Structure formats: structure tokens, C-alpha cells
Structure 1
Amino acid sequence: MLTTLAALMPVILVIASGYLIARTGLITGDQWRGIEKLAYFVLFPMVLFRTISQADFTSFHALNMGGALLMSIFLMTALLLGARKTIERIWGIPAVRFTSIFQGTLRWNAMIALAIADNVAGKTGLATLAVAMVFVIPVVNILSILVLSHFASGSAPSAQKILKDLFSNPFILSIGLGVLFNLSGLTLPGVVGDTVEIFSRAALPIGIICVGAGLDLSALRRPGPALTMGTFLRPAFMPLLAFGCAMLFGVSGPALVAVVIASSVPCASNSYLLSRQMNGDAKLMAEIITLQTLAATVTTPLALFLLT
């Protein structure tokens, strides 16, 4: 446990430093938006392309890992939707607040996941997690949109808009290009490869500093059933569910580490934006993101220690 925590502690400290930098006013709100865009559209695509283009896909079973992750996502979706009326009857949580619980349980923060994979398993962990993102990101995005559209009376985007967003997602594009480059057997010219590596080295620290800067502790209110459920369903049950599915699919080694990381890191920060755009409970979503990120400093190392 101490070894796992020691591997993750640098990530936790960098997140904390982002929070402190934001609160001191060294970097202001508009400047943070620019840094976030740089990380999202340039730096992280670079690190994903580099790791995927150089990955040895024969070292793990990508389809088995993807199948395990998708199975855990669909099982959790079925459980949440099946329990929605019971949740409302017992705890008085209306449908619109349920959408934030749903997103908080299903979606995951790729920036934190990549940083942890790099620290825990190095280049192999990065490449494996990048492949996992190909399976998971489109599915959880579509499920979140459908649930918000149905339960929050939000205006759902058209199928064409969803497809356009997915295929213009810089993470998905960079992973796809990396796979094509890997299969081609080509290698990047020395100068180009060195340039991409420099961008890659900047991605993870800048990305997780932005995660820390986005935490808003002042927005937290007294915990109620919705906030408690939205915060702890994911770290308490998703790693166990994903681990069980991984065992069914025979997943082991770095692929198992990637499955546990993907299922135990806090939910994606852009869940708040989607909730706001589709008339969900954006305030509850922001609180869930903040508390989950804080809780993950304990729950993610614990999940890695117990399950891998």
C-alpha cells in the first residue's frame, strides 16, 4: 500500500499545487482557460500519439481489456437506471439530480488517469491506458448525453453532431493516428520525434495542475444523499465491478492496471459543462467532481493496492 501511495503521491501533490496556484491569483481565470486548451488540444494528443505509435500491442490483449471495461460500464448503467425510481422514492432524489450521479459514476478523468499510469507503470502503462480510452470515451459520452436528454429534459444534440464531436475529439484522433502509424511500421524522423517528446513531457504536469486549479472547495454544501451517492458510488463499486469483468475476460498485467486506474480515478471535469449545457444539476455535478478528486487521493491507491 505504501509503495502504491508513494507512486501516486507526486500526482496528488501536483494537483494540490494547481489548487494553490489558482487560489493565490498567480494565474487568473481566463489564463487558466488558455492553459487548459493547450493541454487538451495540443499536449495530451502529443503524448497519446507518441505512446500509441511506439506501443507493442502484442504484449497485452487489447480486445479483452476493452471488453472488460465496456462490460463494467454497461452493467453499472443497467444497475443505476434500474435503481433510479427506488433512489427517488427512498432518498427523494429527483431525476434531474440523478443525471449528475450517473455522470459521476460512469465518466473518468483521462488527464489524472494518464498521469497515474505513467507514474505507476511507465510507457507500457501509458500505452495500455490510451488504448482503453478508445473503447471507453465514446461510449460514456453517448450514454451521458442520452441520460441527460431523457431525465433532465435537455435538448439532445443530433446523431450527426454526436458523431462529429466524437471524431473531432483530439484524444480519439491522436490515438487513431498513433495506431495507424504503429501499424505502418514507420518511425518518426529524429527531429520530429524529439519535438513530440518535448511536448509529451509537458503534457502530464500541466494537465494535472489544471485539474487542481479547477477544484472549488467553496462550492461544497452540506453533504446530502445525492452528493454522497454521486461521490462514492464510483470509487466504491466501479473498481470492483471492472476487476470482476477483467477476471472474466482473462485480463492481467499492465492491462489489469489500466482497467483499475480507469475505473477508480475521479469523474471527468467536463461532466460539469455537459450538465450545464443540457439542463442537468450543474451545481451538484461540480460538487461531485471536487469531492471525488479529493477522495481519490485515498481510494485510487487503495484500489490499485488491493486489486493489482
Structure 2
Amino acid sequence: MEALVAAFAPIWVLTAVGWLAGRTGLLGAQAEAVLGRFVFHVSMPAALFTVVARTDLAGFANTSMLAFAAGTLAATALGLAASRRLFGRKPAEQVVGALAAGYVNSGNLGIPVAAQVLGDASFVAPVLLFQVLLVTPVMLAVLDARTGASAADRPGDRVRRLALLPVRNPVILGAGLGAVFSAAGWHLPGALAHAVDLLGGAAVPTALVTLGLSLHTPPGEAAERPGRAETAVAVLLKTLVQPLAALAFGALVLDLPRPQLLAVVLLSALPTAQNVYVYARLYGAAPALARSSVLVSTVLSMGTLSGIAWALGGR
């Protein structure tokens, strides 16, 4: 339990720093918007490029990833359906509901959790690739189409907009370039690689500070608050349904060995990534739902991750 607390502590500290900065007005009225754009357009692409470029793409073709993908598919599909059927969300907001239910915090939380519980952080690499190279482009493409296209657009315009998405969207561009470098075995020159590392290193702390800033509403402004039921559904899907679906598929269909099964289920139970809030904020699609899902699922996952490690024989 102490190891999990140590892994979660930076998340809470940096989020609290953001809240204090917002409450005191230290960074100004536009800080949340400016920092959010910095993460999305500059720092996060650099971080994704670095991670993917240094990861062997062969790790993507991992049998146990089928179980993780099954859990992700189940949670995101149910999250999408709940946003549409139960809560009447608009199409772009439905995408955020799906991400809140099934997009795990595999980077800044998955790596320390895997290292502490599994004894090997390399288990996280296929999950990162799956989310960065498959889930993120698909979801951002839908978000872009729903928020950027108008009813007057001709079919050709929409196809062209979708085709140019990797160039227009810095997150997809960064991940895509990283995949090219990984596949070709290329490396950036030393000084440039160090600069990209520094820039990418700012992504996680800045995103968490931005999340903290969003928790403070200036006097006179009405805060958008998702219904408790909607947050509860998203968090339930994220912390319980996704790992249970991965467990069922991994154990009953793939008959995974216990160590692989533990890794898949543990990583499936990670809380909603703060990236979901960054995407929701930039596209103006249900940012309050994303924010509350990140915070609540992070709190609850301390208990669920500990339970999984105990039940499936973690270290």
C-alpha cells in the first residue's frame, strides 16, 4: 500500500498546486486555457514522440494485449452508450464519456504502479502503444469531426479534413513521427533529443496543474458540474467494468498465465488519464465530466489496485 501511495502522491501534490494557483490568482485569469493549449500543442506531442520512438513496436503484438483491448472496448462502448442513451450528451461529449470510462493513466501512474507491483515497468509499453497509436487517433478524429465540421460541409470537405488530421493535430503527429522513428531505427541528434526530452517532461506536471486550476471557479462564474450519476457511471466503468472484462477475456478466452493476467488486469484498473481532461478542455466537450472522472477514479483506484494485487498475487 505504501508503494501505491508513493505513486499517487505526485498527482495529488501537483493538482493541489494548480488549485492553489487558481484560488490565489497567481497565474492570471487565462492560465488554465494557456497551459491547456501548451500541453496539447507543444509538450504532450514531444512526450509521445519520445516514448513511442524509444519503444519497440513489436511489443504492440502481444497476446495479452487482446485482453486489455477487450476491457477497453467494453468500457468505452458502455461509456459511449451511457453518454448517449442515459444522459443525452452531444456526439463530441459522448466521445469524452467513452474516454473517461476506458482511457487509462498508463504513463505517469502506470509506470510506477507496474514497477512497484509487478517488478517490471516494461509491461506498460504495449499499453502505451495501444492507447497512443490506436485509441487516441480514433477518438481525436471523431472529436475533430464533431466539433470542427459544419452541416454545410460537403462530403469531400469532410474527407479532406479527416485525411489532414494527422498534420493538423499535434498529438497524433507526435505519436506518428515517434512510430516512424521507432520502425526505422532513427534517433535524434543528442542536443535535439535532450531538448525534446525536457519539453516532453513538462507534459504530465503541467497537465496536472491545469487540472488543479480547473477546480477553482472565479467569483461570479458558474461552474459546469456533471450530474453525480453520470460521474458515478463513468467511474464505475473505469475502475470495475474495464478490469473485470479484461480478467474474463484473459482468463476464459486466452487462458493467460497468472503473471500476464495480473499485469493486464492491474493496468486495466488504472484511473482515467488526465489527458482526457486536456482533450475535453481543448475541444470544449464535457470538460467537467472529464475532470470529475479523473479525480474520483484516481481516489478509488488506490483501493481497487491494491485489491487486484492481493487477489491475483502481486508482489
Task: State TM-score, norm by structure 1.
Answer: 0.71
Change (3 A) 1:37 1:210: same
What is the distance in 2 between the residues matched to 1:46 and 1:10? 21
**Range with bigger deviation, 106-115 or 9-18:** 106-115
How far off its partner does 1:51 sit?
Answer: 2.1
Corresponding residue of 2:19 = 19
Deviations 1:265-288 (A, max 9, x none): 4682233564x5xxxxx6xx3442
- In percent, how many aligned pairs have the same letter? 22
Is the Cα contact below 8 Å between 2:19 and 2:212 reproduced in 1? yes
Residue 243 (structure 2) aligned to one of 239, 243, 264: 239
Deviations 1:163-196 (A, max 9, x none): 4335532222222222221222233322222222
Greater share of helix residues, 1 or 2? 1
Does residue 271 in structure 1 map to residue 280 in structure 2? yes
Alignment of structure 1 residues 48-87 onto 2, 5 Å: 48-58=48-58, 60-62=59-61, 64=63, 67-76=66-75, 79=78
What is the distance in 2 between the residues matched to 1:258 and 1:45? 23
Change (3 A) 1:185 1:305: same
Is the Cα contact below 8 Å between 1:12 and 1:297 reproduced in 2? no
User: For residue 109 of structure 2, what is the amino acid of its counterpart?
Assistant: I
Corresponding residue of 2:296 = 295
Aligned to 1:186, what secondary structure does the other structure show? coil
How far off its partner does 1:29 sit?
Answer: 3.2
Change (3 A) 1:65 1:108: farther
Corresponding residue of 1:201 = 201
Structure 2, unpaired ranges of 5+: 116-120, 310-315
Aligned to 1:135, what secondary structure does the other structure show? helix
Corresponding residue of 2:128 = 130
Corresponding residue of 2:312 = none
Is the Cα contact below 8 Å between 1:70 and 1:135 reproduced in 2? no
Deviations 1:207-234 (A, max 9, x none): 2211222235773669554454345443
What is the distance in 2 between the residues matched to 1:24 and 1:125? 41
What is the distance in 2 between the residues matched to 1:55 and 1:116? 18
Change (3 A) 1:134 1:305: farther
User: For residue 136 of structure 1, what is the amino acid of its counterpart?
Assistant: V
What is the distance in 2 between the residues matched to 1:109 and 1:73? 5
Corresponding residue of 2:313 = none
Change (3 A) 1:129 1:84: closer
Corresponding residue of 2:211 = 211
Is the Cα contact below 8 Å between 1:167 and 1:173 reproduced in 2? yes
Is the Cα contact below 8 Å between 1:17 and 1:209 reproduced in 2? yes
Task: State TM-score, norm by structure 2.
Answer: 0.70
Say what the alpha-carbon RMSD is for the aligned residues.
4.0
User: For residue 23 of structure 2, what is the amino acid of its counterpart?
Assistant: R
What is the distance in 2 between the residues matched to 1:246 and 1:167? 36
Is the Cα contact below 8 Å between 1:17 and 1:212 reproduced in 2? yes
Is the Cα contact below 8 Å between 1:4 and 1:301 reproduced in 2? yes
Is the Cα contact below 8 Å between 1:145 and 1:156 reproduced in 2? no
How far off its partner does 1:112 sit?
Answer: 5.2
Deviations 1:86-143 (A, max 9, x none): x65xxxx5x3479856632434797954221344347746644431221211333456
What is the distance in 1 between the residues matched to 2:71 and 2:301? 17
Is the Cα contact below 8 Å between 1:21 and 1:213 reproduced in 2? yes
Change (3 A) 1:108 1:75: closer
User: For residue 271 of structure 1, what is the amino acid of its counterpart?
Assistant: A
Aligned to 2:109, what secondary structure does the other structure show? helix
**Range with bigger deviation, 106-115 or 225-234:** 106-115
What is the distance in 2 between the residues matched to 1:145 and 1:3? 39
User: For residue 32 of structure 1, what is the amino acid of its counterpart?
Assistant: E
What is the distance in 2 between the residues matched to 1:84 and 1:109? 13
Corresponding residue of 2:139 = 140
Corresponding residue of 1:304 = 305
